[in-house]
Amino acid sequence: MPLKALDIYKLLPRKNCKECGDPTCLTFAMKLAAGKADIELCPYLDENAKSVLGATTRPPIRRVKLGVGERSFAVGEEFVLYRHDKTFYHPPGIMFVVSDTQSEEEITAITARVRDETLTRVGADLKFNGTAIVNTSGTIEAYAKAVAAVEKTAGLPEVLVSENPAALAAALVLCGSYHPTICAATPENYKQICALAKQYACRLVVRASTLEALVQLAKDCVAEGVPDILLDPGAKTLGDFLYRSTAVRQLAITRAVPDLGYPVYLDATTFEDEDAAIALGIVKYASVIVAKPLSPASAKAALTLRQNIYTDPQKPIQMNPGIYRVGTPGKDAPVLMTVNFSLTYFTLQGYLESTRIPCFMLIVDTEGLSVLTSVAAGKLNESLVRDAIKKFGVEGEVNHRKLIIPGYAAPLSGRIEEATGWKVLVGPRDAAEIGEYLVQEWKP
């Protein structure tokens, strides 16, 4: 059972010396209880406290970092079963498969796609994460050639998929310094695979056909000196994956089976409906998902779903308040005020761009609430608009004094006029109508 902050506090030295980086032992205890601090930060813990706290305060799912450099990413370190309880922290890496039976050109093209393809959505650049190089040919030479082609193209995180230690060894000579992930150790080969993983400081996928065997194999690999492991629950159907992955998460976060406290690996290529497997993996606890290069529609769906699941449900996605330009607006350009809820901003911005009428967007801070909600909650009010006009220097940007407000903020129009001295024009409720509105109504 996880300890509560007060129980942890009783085990701390209570010197309040600040050496852990926290102002008091109590705040350090609260961080430990939330899994947000490491006991090693306090130099004064006695052995008893270390052993009690070590077992109960470390994150229930180990954080594992894949790759090195700019495109490396961390997975694991999750604390809840349901995102509404807290949030999910580390989105799964989606890796595209390349096979050593493909030509060098094909391998290069897939790797370059992972390196370059970006979907920009609600202000974030969404990308795929790396490549999984499969030893389909079964030969050492072809595998090394495929790995070399990937290496030549991009410094992305890699999964080396082979159960042949000789092929893995040849590949690791080429890419070992990038700490690739080896897939997979099984009950039959784990000693040889662990030796390679240890030699090159690799992450390791462990695969077994039952959860009991997976627990044992995870223990064996850790005992061999490989602590950074991912669990492949070896599911044959989507239902099976859902059951096993949920069981792993539940047993790990409740600390009922600490040996399952590792991120989950999913090879979506083994399922008939790969799109469904990817979606299930994103929603139900996969941390690394290996997939064939996706069609544009499937790619967009996967990246969008991942972004949605891994945003904090308790915090609306927000824009920074300020004055934003659409096109190159001049002194007579319209000024449209709206809230800093990202979805509102990007929806309106998209429609404004398509009108091709250069304008200013004045974004006010409603703490990420939508127009309707912020009006109802009193977050959007005349003082906020008046202060934003001053703070962001809107008066210096245009010669007129006319402000277009969203249709849902119409009840505030009189009060905004009084507070700002600007003439307020009430725009449409639906952002899709803004183009027509500007064409018909806007006169500086």
Q: Is 202 annotated to bind ligand?
A: no
SS3 364: strand
Q: Does 276 bind ligand SF4 (CB under 6 A)?
A: no
Query: How far apart (Å, rounded) are the C-alpha atoms in residues 108 and 113?
Result: 8
Query: How far apart (Å, rounded) are the C-alpha atoms in residues 363 and 355?
Result: 19
Q: How far is the CB of 16 from ligand SF4 (least distance, A)?
A: 5
Query: How far apart (Å, rounded) are the C-alpha atoms in residues 60 and 39?
Result: 14
Q: Does 6 bind ligand SF4 (CB under 6 A)?
A: no
Which listed residue (4, 6, 10, 13) binds ligand SF4 by CB under 6 A?
13
Q: Does 20 bind ligand SF4 (CB under 6 A)?
A: yes
Q: Does 436 bind ligand SF4 (CB under 6 A)?
A: no
Cα three-residue angle 254-257-259, rounded to 5 degrees? 125
Between 16 and 108, whose beta carbon lies closer to ligand SF4? 16
Q: What are phi and psi of 168, to 5 degrees?
A: -65, -45
Burial of residue 227, with CB atoms counted within 10 A of its CB: 0-12 exposed, 13-18 middle, 19 or more buried: middle
Between 15 and 390, whose beta carbon lies closer to ligand SF4? 15
Between 15 and 325, whose beta carbon lies closer to ligand SF4? 15
Q: Is 431 annotated to bind ligand?
A: yes
Site track for ligand SF4 across 24-53, x = CB under 6 A:
-x--x-------------x-x---------
Query: How far apart (Å, rounded) are the C-alpha atoms in residues 274 and 268?
Result: 6
DSSP annotation of 293: P
Query: How far apart (Å, rounded) are the C-alpha atoms in residues 410 and 413?
Result: 5
Which listed residue (5, 16, 65, 283) binds ligand SF4 by CB under 6 A?
16
Residues 6+ apart with CB under 8 A from 208: 186, 187, 214, 216, 217, 232, 233, 234
Q: Is 169 annotated to bind ligand?
A: no
Between 16 and 413, whose beta carbon lies closer to ligand SF4? 16
Between 20 and 266, whose beta carbon lies closer to ligand SF4? 20
Binding residues for [4Fe-4S] cluster: 17, 20, 25, 42
Binding residues for 5-methoxybenzimidazolylcob(I)amide: 338, 344, 368-371, 431
Binding residues vs ligand SF4 (CB under 6 A):
12-13, 15-20, 22, 25, 28, 42, 44
